Amino acid sequence: MFDALRPHSRWYRQVDAYVDRELPPRTLAHFEAHLRGCRRCAGEVSERRRLKQAMGTLPAVAAPRSFRITADTAMNATARPPAAQPLRLALRLSMALGGLAIIGLASTVAIDLSGRGNSTPAAAPSTLQASSAAEDARRPALGQSAAPLAPTSQGLPTTRIASGAPPPETASPSPDSGRKAVATDMQAPSTGDRRVFRLVEVGFALIAGASVAASVVMVRKQRRTIP
Amino acid sequence: MGDAAEPSDERLAGEAAAGSLAAFNQLVDRYQSLVFSLCIRLLGDRQSAEDATQETFLSAYRAIPKFTGSNLRAWFLRIAANASKDELRRRRRKGRAISLEESRDPGKSLLDPPDPGESPDDRVERLALAAGLQRALDALPFDQRQVIVLVDVHGFGYEEVATLTHTSVGTVKSRIHRGRERLRRILTDSGTNLAGSAS
């Protein structure tokens, strides 16, 4: 069904390359075979040839003045390459900023991951620790000394309780209050921290991305400016 | 005899790279018309073309110690094409109007070296065609104009143009195709007759 349209869409794009003698030999043979049976393409070829010929008749333009470089201009040109110097500085700054942002991002991610790695195993014993800590916390409220309790809470997230003076929550007579306090102590900072980490990571990623994009643009521009 | 004494491009480029301003200026003398020709075709007005030409030779002077190729002509034209693009951008930023006055009036056109064997009628016709073509070229997007000028006016091949413009041969092909299509439409709309050029 589309066979009638195909030859033109396919060959029509080759008309200019044919006129410019830029078709590879094999395509050239096929194109010439098509041209013999296709008036439309033959017409296009002669139109293009006329246009090319007309363009070729555009006269060469003599330079209206001398563009010789004087000694002063030469000295200025070598002393102060315009645009290239500020561009180079901006490129260096941008690359440095990008590098710092990437280092910052990597460090933040590492800290975030290591923090999560530590908090996960700690979360399992926390339930047991929470109950014993609550028990410990209740004792001072009952008039017992906090000192003997210190060894039992060593190395656990309840070190604040073992510090001697009971925290304000532990003064509550409720048996659950100590458990809640400890559980809150363990979760609240990690949730908040994660949010902060996310924000910092996103910030670093944005800065790094923008710096890399700016550097790529500047490198391209520099390549164009300095042949 | 005098021709034999003319130093080659390579020799002059080598001396210029070593710091000889005189050698570089000899290259300027050799290529300034070619460079100006390209700039004026790409930019369409004399002042911008002069600025771009001057910038081309300044950039070339700065970069010549790093020049390692063998085709100095292509190198100058590549810098000129880039300088023209920058000049066009600068002009757009400044909102400077394109002066077409010279090309609108064939008698004043700067694109018309007089041909001694030409009749006045032929001359007027040729200049009208040149002015029409230049106006049509000015109406093309820069990328298409650039490849058409390099191929049709300066006689470069697709591969050379691809190298000059930092693009692929496929891109050059498609720019040429779209550019000529557009050029033909503009010329048809403006009533410019190409028939005379075919003779």
- Residues A112-136 have pLDDT tens digits of 777 765 554 444 444 444 444 445 5
Q: Give A12→chain B minimum CA distance, Å.
A: 9
Chain-chain contact of B177 with A13 (C-beta, under 8 angstroms): yes
What is the predicted pLDDT for the residue at B50?
93
Give the residue from chain B lying closest to A58, CA to CA.
B130
More confident residue, A159 or A219: A219
Q: Is the pLDDT of residue A110 over 90?
A: no
Query: Which residue is associated with the tokens 């040109």?
Result: A77
Sign of the alpha-carbon dihedral angle for A102, A104, A110, A113: negative
Q: What pLDDT score does A20 carry?
A: 94
Q: Give residue-wise pLDDT tens across range B21-56.
A: 999 999 999 999 999 999 999 998 889 999 999 999
pLDDT band at A201 (very low <50, low <70, confident <90, very high): confident
Percent of chain A topping pLDDT 90: 12
Residue B119 Cα, gap to closest chain A Cα (Å): 16
> Which residues of chain B lie closer than 8 angstroms to A71, CB-CB?
21
Rounded mean pLDDT of chain A? 70
Interface test with B, best of A12, A23, A45, A51 (most B CBs within 10 A): A51
User: Can you list the residues of chain B whose pLDDT is less than 50?
Assistant: 1-2, 97-110, 198-199
Q: Is the Cβ pair B111, A47 closer than 8 Å?
A: no
Give me the residue from B24, B129, B174 closest to A69, CB to CB: B24
Average pLDDT rounded to a whole number, residues A161-186: 48
How far A122 CA sits from the closest chain B CA (Å)? 59
Domains of chain B: residue spans and CATH: 7-97 (1.10.1740.10), 113-199 (1.10.10.10)
A140 has a pLDDT exceeding 80:
no
Task: Show residues of chain A in contact with B123, CB under 8 Å.
Answer: none
Percent of chain B with pLDDT over 90: 45
In order, the DSSP letters of B36-48 are: HHHHHHHH-SHHH
Q: Compute the CA torsion angle B77, B82, B83, B88 (nearest 10 deg).
A: 130
- CA torsion angle for A79, A84, A90, A93 (degrees, to 10)? -70
Residue A118: its H or E element:
helix A84-141
pLDDT over 50 at A3, yes or no: no
Residue A69: exposed, middle, or buried by beta-carbon count in 10 A (0-12, 13-18, 19+)? buried
Rounded Cα–Cα distance for residues A166 and B165 (Å): 77
Whether pLDDT at A5 is above 70: no
What is the rounded distance in angstroms from the CA atom of residue A203 to the CA atom of residue A193?
15
Q: Is A50's CB within 8 Å of B187's CB?
A: no
Model confidence at A144, pLDDT cuts 50, 70, 90, reads very low
Numbered residues of chain A with Cβ closer than 8 Å to any chain B Cβ: 13, 15-17, 20, 22, 47-69, 71, 73-74, 77-78, 81, 223-227
Q: Which of A16, A85, A226 to mutate to test the interface with B (most CBs of B within 10 A)?
A: A16
Contact criterion met (CB < 8 Å) for A16 and B177: yes
Q: What is the mean pLDDT of residues A147-172?
A: 44
Chain B residues whose CB is inside 8 A of the A225 CB are: 59, 82, 86
Among candidates B78, B133, B176 on the partner chain, residue whose Cβ is nearest the Cβ of A227: B78
Are A57 and B180 an interchain contact pair (Cβ–Cβ within 8 Å)?
no
In which residue are the tokens 């042949």 written?
A227
Instruction: Reduce the secondary structure of B57-90 to three states and give it as a string.
Output: HHHHHHHHHHCCCCCHHHHHHHHHHHHHHHHHHH
Whether pTM > 0.80 for this model: the answer is no
Interface A-B: count of C-beta contacts within 8 A: 131
pLDDT, one tens digit per residue, over A25-78 is 998 999 999 889 888 889 999 999 999 998 888 887 888 888 998 888 887 776
The whole-angstrom distance between A105's CA and the closest CA on chain B is 35
Distance CA A34, CA A25 (A): 14
| Token pair belonging to B105 | 């009036």
